[in-house]
Structure 1
Amino acid sequence: MNGNGEEVAVYEIAVVVSQSNVIKDKEIGDCLDILVAEFRNVGLIVDIVSGVSDEFIKVAAPPVTLGRAAAEIQLKKPTRMDLQFEWEEMDAFLKQPDGSLFSWSERFQCYHHLIYGIVNKSNLMISLKYDGKEFCWEVGQSLLQTLESKGIVKQVFPLHAEMKRKKLLRSWALNWWDLTDQPIDEIYSYFGTKVAIYFAFLGKYTQWLFFPAALGLIVQLVDFGSLQLLALPVFFISITLWAVLFFQFWKRKNYALLARWQINCTIGIGQGHKLLGMKWSYRQPPVEVIKTLGTDKAREKELYQRHEWLGHLMRFRNDVFVILSIICLQLPFELAYAHLYEVIGSDIIKFGLTAIYLFVIQYFTQIGGKISVKLIKNENNENSENRADSLVYKVVFGLYFMQSYIGIFYHALLHRNFRTLRQVLIQRLIISEVLENLLENSLPYMKYSYKKYKTIRNKKKHENNKPSGKIHVSTRVEKEYLKPAYSASIVEELEDGLFDDFLELALQFGMIMMFACAFPLAFAFAAVNNIMEIRTDALKLLSMFKRPVPRDAVTIGAWINIFQFLIVMSICTNSALLVWLYDQEGKWKIEPGLAAILIMEHVLLLIKFGFSHFVPEEPAWVRANRVRNATQAQDVCSKQLLRTISGEKTSNESKKNE
């Protein structure tokens, strides 16, 4: 609100237009003038801002404009069940946690429909002018897509809402007093579901880390005397039970968040990938073919079965290809590095070897990511989230699992060199995480500074013979345009920056869990790192990157299965570590102590799978609300159906009487 009590427009989308369009073509048919006029015709509020080298069209939409767009795209919104949105019945639809009618994801879909839905509805082609050249706006073609194809519109991206951004900076990114507390509802309203679920998971994971961190400090620093041999097995059992319970209670919190945000547990194609011109081609079910079959049920069943099994075979083929590539190419490379690290005595040479190794694996990772994307294109995945999950499995289990753990396995399981093992763990947990945090927070600023410098330099070259004052980037929209996008380091087609953030957590969890008995103090380092991670990730999203495109999600996806797999692996690896600690002579005698460790391993595996049924994933109050809402929705549908049938019956009888 401004001082006069009027509502101030919040600009949430920016369209970047080449500046040469404005300087040279101030005449009838000018692209910028036509684009702005069309934006206003569909009810958008438009503001034009001149930058150093480009023009920026900031776009806002009043509630009524968003409501009409939501009705046109048949947006599904929850009442007591998901219904098609109608602006006239807006009071029937549930509000967001911040009191607004539409979530950020829903508003983004409406913006996309409005700005990309401007098409040439006339019967003739319209002539447009740009940089002294003319081109045609074809009948039925999108105006914005036409301008994008000609290079006139450079980019369309979401804008930060400055008031909400500053509020989140104060209450979240810069609020160091609340170690793990976060305004999750405000994060959901501002960034969308997927980002909010990530930070909810990170916060709960960090809270639960306090227990194993304190226990690890006690085991590492306290001398238990004659009971010292029992300290590590007790610690191992405790952290295994802790990990199993944590993920069961995380699932409960996940359900509670979805219920609070009025989100169904089933989502369709992720909107984030197909909005703003981002497309993805994949094999669709043979629905169109089936429509032509009429009532031929046998043929329809055959097509569905063929499609289903073809998808399974393609996924199996791709998985076999990835596994064989890892065994034949990456495994020898990782083992060679681990062996050289073990036999080399000079720390300087070890440092140089590690630097070369880190440089080479960057290329391994990039090549593996590109190959994985090409393989996934041939899979029968139902939606973009399933394709992203498939990428996570292939890349994380393949490339990163080998890179992160094979060397540690080599030191721990083959050489039984616990001194080197602890050295590698400390190096990975402390040095690597500190360096990663520094890089992931400094690189965006360096990229922004370079783009800013390049923009100003190009402008000076363009105005070489013209006297002008000092050139600098002053507008907020241009500063946001120069910031890097929140994208994944490995591939941008399927994943955003959350891939790297989740990957960092998964690798950390694997380190502290699988080698817990070798270095109990690791949990304390992980807890301190994650407290820092919450604030640095928040600062990164709010200040260093463009506002990310909202993405739909109901869980953390494939990552939950990766964490569960790491728990099972940790039971096996820690049991092996305990065996080798108590069998230092290497005689492999099944003495009572070693037999107890083997029995403990089997018992913990049973407990791990048993606790999945002991602790219910869905809270009782969430399940009760879901059942009640489903029952009420069914009653409404039944009554409506009965009225329709009764009306048709009455109409038919009156026609017969006539």
Structure 2
Amino acid sequence: CDFVHLIITNNTSPLKNISPCRSQMTVRLLATYADVLKIKVPFKASDIPKAREVPLEWLTQPFRLPDNIMRPEPDYFTAPFDKSKVDFFLIDDKDTFFPPSTRNRIVYYIMTRCPYYKEDRLEKDKTGIKRLLNNGTYTSAYPLHDVSVIFMHFNLLNLYHLYKYWAGFLCFYKEQPLNLIKKYYGEKIGIYFAWLGFYTEMLFFAAVMGVICFVYGVLSYEDNITSKEICDPDIGGMIVMCPLCDKKCSYWKLNSTCLSSWQSHLFDNEGTVFFAMFMGIWVTLFLEFWKRRQARLEYEWDLVDFEEEQQQLQIRPEYELKCTGRRLNRITSLKQSSIGLSPSLSLFCQTCLIVACIMGVIAYRLAVYAAFASVMKDSPTSKIQLVGSLITPQLATSVTASCINFVIILILNFLYEHVAIWITDMEIPKTHLEYENKLTMKMFMFQFVNYYSSCFYVAFFKGKFVGYPGNYTYMFGKWSKLRNEECAPGGCLIELTTQLLIVMAGKQMVGNVQEALLPLLRNWWGSRKGRSHPESTYSRWEQDHDLQNFSQFGLFYEYLEMVIQFGFITLFVASFPLAPLLALFNNILEVRVDAWKFTTQFRRPVAAKARNIGAWEEILNVVAILSVVTNAFIVAFTSDMIPRLVYLYAYHTGSKATMRGYIDNSLSFYNISQIPDANLPEAGENPSWYRDYRYPPGHEKQYTHTMQFWHILAAKLAFIIIMEHVVFVVKFFVAWLIPDVPAEVKARIKRERFLVQEYLHNYEVEKLKMQLSQSFCLSTETASLLPSSPSKHQVLSECI
């Protein structure tokens, strides 16, 4: 038998620091609960031949781990364990027949259903260690890490192998030992790291394509005629533009945006359209290939027939404590508490918070822009020297506003987390699975608004509802003095790129520091007293107690971090093709940081099963569909691609198609004397240009949109329709073409079910023959007392 450790620190007992309770779990007890939980165990070695080696497989050899680490166990056909058919299964060693994660889960299953007693009376319906932890009877309960000397006898040094081949930062280019992770931590954690590793692998292809598009922008840098005209002192230097805000903003020359126009060309070029379409197809390939990988893991980890009924029927202690109403559960035939807060009230609270946050972010950005414009109005056309680069006031405003916005995002993120948990607690979900699903949707919705609202504003609202000089539009009316922002002549794409880069990179840096530094500091602070004791008195359970507790939300936050990153590289990737490259570098580090935390900084979590990544899969599908729409709108309305193409093929002058004259064509003339004095700067030059397509003063349709404006709008809408239909058709075709479950896995599942049925049939037949034979032989003993006869001799010979 094996020693299974369950450490429980009682804070109500005078013996607060009790020694570890080492319960000797016999093979019979293991077999009993393995039968109850229907745990699959091997009954026959797999006879399906392995796939043929790829001729170029030697190229991947440097990225592979030793075979005994990647496949710690042979390949078997498995079937649900049945205690009455022990000799049917392949049991070579009773002590190591059940892996550590299975033993872990069996102990947890027993403890969650063990009844406890109160001093005054017996309450049979009050059971489980969860309730005792929740009401404060015990402070903690956790399994120990496998580093005790006793486990060396059974060759179960799984933690050592995980630390060496998985958590080491020098192994960043190696594959993950997923089977070993599953064996030690359970299937739920194993599925997370399998998904994270697969996501990182797929990011490599998106990163390569993004780098190619960026290199194309660099190589075509000198062919950018539009930026040359803006920077030309005889063209852009002679155009004085209208103020970008009321009173506080001054006149500015067009060539002051020279640097931002060159920077915009790096991301706003012909390659942007191709990359946006590529990412729409990449998302589909990622999700479809992950379904295939997930189906393969389901089979290899015996999760094909796994149902989460046990999780669905496991009542949360908070549910029974807070709910007093009772109703009959049709599944368990037991009376259970009724739900507390109405879901509609929760949805109303979420909607109010989301609307308030969106309006607050927009008002914040307008106020910051006006403040910076007021500071810089004394030098409207000046340029600031910073780190060897020329930065215009507009770019400086965008960068600083994005940085301040990121700080606010971190603060709101902290508040959103508590609000989401509070609302979910008020709903009083019945089971842990229901609680996790509800919290997942709320947290993602809050995080979606928090991280993406500023990007959505820059991409789809800034510069779209400005009006024109003398008739500007305001966010909350003229009394607010918050005039809607305008885009630079090169469009708002460079500002969206800046916003995306700062928020995404900042989130990744802060997240990595928090994940690596905070657990280390907390563990050091908590183990100061323990480390002063000799090793003989600083027991294993005390060392594990000083580690950080891996809560039920541990994987939830890991998934949330990666899904938010997935949104950055898909929803707005048309504005920043290098986003997948940043995500790739972050995820390579993320895998090793998480592995290091699990092996050295966290207590060993209770093993749990899960077939897939849960509600996150549906969220990824929604983000994937939404990303096609957002990228199409970014190319059409945020970038300057469509207006340039319309000018190139419809409005250019001369026999040869060229972009010369585009800047002059994209600006409109206005009589500055018609602007109210309250909106004009205190002093300045006499401007007459603004960015729009409107008729000049004196025309019968003065200040109304020209026909070119409607041509460009029609071209934008046509591009959106064409791009969405092309990408969606390819997406659906790829999704139809690639089956969710590989044919090989389907064949193995069918063969395994066939073998289970056949072997069980043969087993039962042989068992029945043996029973009948024994019974028949007993009857012949009586027949032997009878007189001799031919039939008697025949019966005795058959018995023999």
Normalised by the length of structure 1, the TM-score is: 0.72
Structure 1 pair 625/351, CA: closer, same or farther in 2 (3 Å)?
closer
> Partners of 1:342 and 1:95 in 2: how far apart?
73
Q: Which residue of 2 aligns with 1:303?
A: none
Q: Is the CA contact (8 Å cut-off) linking 1:147 and 1:153 kept in structure 2?
A: yes
Which of 502, 506, 510 is the aligned partner of 1:435? 510
Q: Superposed, which structure 2 residues align to 1:84-233 within 5 Å?
A: 85-86=82-83, 89=86, 91-92=88-89, 100-112=96-108, 153-162=138-147, 163-174=157-168, 176-179=170-173, 181-223=175-217, 225=220, 229-233=269-273
Q: Unpaired runs of 5+ in structure 2?
A: 44-76, 148-156, 225-267, 373-396, 463-490, 644-665, 667-691, 693-708, 772-800
Which of 711, 719, 722 is the aligned partner of 1:589? 711
Q: Which residue of 2 aligns with 1:600?
A: 723
Q: State the one-letter code of the partner of 1:321.
A: F
Which of 618, 630, 652 is the aligned partner of 1:573? 630
Which of 277, 298, 303 is the aligned partner of 1:258? 298
1:509 and 2:536 matched: no
Q: Secondary structure at the match of 2:618?
A: helix
Q: State the one-letter code of the partner of 2:142.
A: F
Q: Which residue of 1 aligns with 2:246?
A: none
Q: CA deviation at 1:553?
A: 0.6
Which of 614, 621, 632 is the aligned partner of 1:564? 621
Structure 1 pair 119/627, CA: closer, same or farther in 2 (3 Å)?
same
Q: Is the CA contact (8 Å cut-off) linking 1:21 and 1:152 kept in structure 2?
A: no
> Partners of 1:199 and 1:373 in 2: how far apart?
29
Q: Percent identity?
A: 23
Which of 384, 395, 406 is the aligned partner of 2:453? 406
Q: CA deviation at 1:444?
A: 1.6
Of residues 603-612 and 186-195 in structure 1, the stretch that sits farther from structure 2 once superposed is 603-612
* Per-residue Cα deviation, 1:527-580 (whole angstroms, up to 9, x for no partner): 111100110010011111111122221001111111111111111111111113
Q: CA deviation at 1:395?
A: 2.2
> Partners of 1:113 and 1:166 in 2: how far apart?
27
Q: Is the CA contact (8 Å cut-off) linking 1:212 and 1:239 kept in structure 2?
A: yes
Q: Superposed, which structure 2 residues align to 1:51-90 within 5 Å?
A: 54-59=17-22, 61-62=24-25, 64=27, 66-70=29-33, 73=36, 75-77=38-40, 83=80, 85-86=82-83, 89=86
> Partners of 1:143 and 1:552 in 2: how far apart?
19
> Partners of 1:388 and 1:90 in 2: how far apart?
40
Structure 1 pair 556/288, CA: closer, same or farther in 2 (3 Å)?
closer
1:370 and 2:410 matched: no
Q: Unpaired runs of 5+ in structure 1?
A: 1-6, 23-52, 127-134, 293-309, 460-468, 488-494, 648-658
> Partners of 1:237 and 1:148 in 2: how far apart?
52
Q: Which residue of 2 aligns with 1:391?
A: 439
1:552 and 2:609 matched: yes
Q: Secondary structure at the match of 1:54?
A: coil
> Partners of 1:245 and 1:319 in 2: how far apart?
36
Q: Which residue of 1 aligns with 2:598?
A: 541
Q: Superposed, which structure 2 residues align to 1:292-303 within 5 Å?
A: none
Q: CA deviation at 1:65?
A: 5.1
Q: Which residue of 1 aligns with 2:481?
A: none
Q: CA deviation at 1:176?
A: 2.6
* Per-residue Cα deviation, 1:568-619 (whole angstroms, up to 9, x for no partner): 1111111111113224556352566763453012221232233222110001
Which of 7, 13, 16 is the aligned partner of 2:9? 16
Q: State the one-letter code of the partner of 1:195.
A: I
Q: Secondary structure at the match of 1:287?
A: coil
Q: Is the CA contact (8 Å cut-off) linking 2:182 and 2:189 kept in structure 1?
A: yes
1:355 and 2:348 matched: no
Q: Superposed, which structure 2 residues align to 1:605-620 within 5 Å?
A: 605-620=728-743
Q: Is the CA contact (8 Å cut-off) linking 1:199 and 1:534 kept in structure 2?
A: yes
Q: Which residue of 1 aligns with 2:579?
A: 522
Q: Which residue of 1 aligns with 2:383?
A: none
Q: Which residue of 2 aligns with 1:287?
A: 330
> Partners of 1:447 and 1:235 in 2: how far apart?
44
Q: Is the CA contact (8 Å cut-off) linking 1:176 and 1:535 kept in structure 2?
A: no
Of residues 342-351 and 102-111 in structure 1, the stretch that sits farther from structure 2 once superposed is 342-351
Q: Is the CA contact (8 Å cut-off) linking 1:270 and 1:552 kept in structure 2?
A: no
Structure 1 pair 291/145, CA: closer, same or farther in 2 (3 Å)?
closer
Q: CA deviation at 1:201?
A: 0.8
Structure 1 pair 16/137, CA: closer, same or farther in 2 (3 Å)?
farther
Greater fraction helix: 1
> Partners of 2:408 and 2:719 in 1: how far apart?
43
Q: CA deviation at 1:351?
A: 5.0
Q: Is the CA contact (8 Å cut-off) linking 1:16 and 1:57 kept in structure 2?
A: no
> Partners of 1:287 and 1:94 in 2: how far apart?
39
Of residues 176-185 and 537-546 in structure 1, the stretch that sits farther from structure 2 once superposed is 176-185
Of residues 104-113 and 76-85 in structure 1, the stretch that sits farther from structure 2 once superposed is 76-85
> Partners of 1:263 and 1:538 in 2: how far apart?
23
Q: Is the CA contact (8 Å cut-off) linking 2:104 and 2:607 kept in structure 1?
A: yes
1:626 and 2:666 matched: no
Q: Is the CA contact (8 Å cut-off) linking 1:104 and 1:190 kept in structure 2?
A: yes
Q: Secondary structure at the match of 2:18?
A: strand
Structure 1 pair 149/404, CA: closer, same or farther in 2 (3 Å)?
closer
> Partners of 2:556 and 2:123 in 1: how far apart?
41
Q: Secondary structure at the match of 2:142?
A: strand
Structure 1 pair 72/198, CA: closer, same or farther in 2 (3 Å)?
closer
Which of 328, 335, 342 is the aligned partner of 2:362? 335
What is the RMSD of the two structures over their aligned residues, measured on CA atoms? 4.5
Q: CA deviation at 1:168?
A: 0.6
Of residues 470-479 and 435-444 in structure 1, the stretch that sits farther from structure 2 once superposed is 470-479
> Partners of 1:212 and 1:99 in 2: how far apart?
47
Q: CA deviation at 1:404?
A: 0.9
Q: Is the CA contact (8 Å cut-off) linking 1:66 and 1:107 kept in structure 2?
A: no
* Per-residue Cα deviation, 1:317-371 (whole angstroms, up to 9, x for no partner): 3674355334443333333334445544267787556535532442233112220
> Partners of 2:617 and 2:497 in 1: how far apart?
27
Q: Secondary structure at the match of 1:617?
A: coil
Q: Which residue of 2 aligns with 1:248?
A: 288
Q: Is the CA contact (8 Å cut-off) linking 1:197 and 1:555 kept in structure 2?
A: yes
Q: State the one-letter code of the partner of 2:6.
A: I
Q: CA deviation at 1:373?
A: 3.7
* Per-residue Cα deviation, 1:18-48 (whole angstroms, up to 9, x for no partner): 59745xxxxxxxxxxxxxxxxxxxxxxxxxx
Q: Is the CA contact (8 Å cut-off) linking 2:130 and 2:317 kept in structure 1?
A: no
Q: State the one-letter code of the partner of 1:287.
A: R
> Partners of 1:322 and 1:150 in 2: how far apart?
29
Q: CA deviation at 1:500?
A: 1.0
> Partners of 2:744 and 2:183 in 1: how far apart?
23
> Partners of 1:545 and 1:411 in 2: how far apart?
41
Q: State the one-letter code of the partner of 1:67.
A: L
Q: Secondary structure at the match of 1:485?
A: coil
